[in-house]
Amino acid sequence: MLILSPEQCRAARGLLGWTQEELAERAGVSRSTIRDYENGRHCLHPSTATQVVSALEGGGVLLIPSDEAGPGVRLQRPTLG
């Protein structure tokens, strides 16, 4: 399973134009869970991480695992317009 970093979470939301509230709603978690995770206050429980990753990927981002260049995020399909 991909390990989602707080930075990837913020970047993915930015690419999708989602607020923390939107991500929380789509993932079925509280806004404070997203806020506290992105701010480094706590780690996500594995099941919660799965929900967040699924929501982000469902929204159209590709979460790139960490390698020698570090973790990344990109859109799965470029937007038109």
DSSP states of 10-31: HHHHHHHT--HHHHHHHHTS-H
Give the distance, in angstroms, between the CA of residue 14 and the centroid of all CA atoms in the same chain: 9
**How confident is the model over 61-78, as a mean pLDDT?**
85
Q: What's the topology of domain 6-75?
A: 434 Repressor (Amino-terminal Domain) (1.10.260)
Query: Given this model, what pLDDT does residue 4 score?
Result: 92
Percent helix, strand and coil across the chain, each to the nearest 5: 50, 10, 40
For 62, the enclosing helix (H) or strand (E) is strand 61-64
The pTM score is 0.88
Q: Where residue 78 falls among pLDDT bands split at 50, 70, 90? A: low
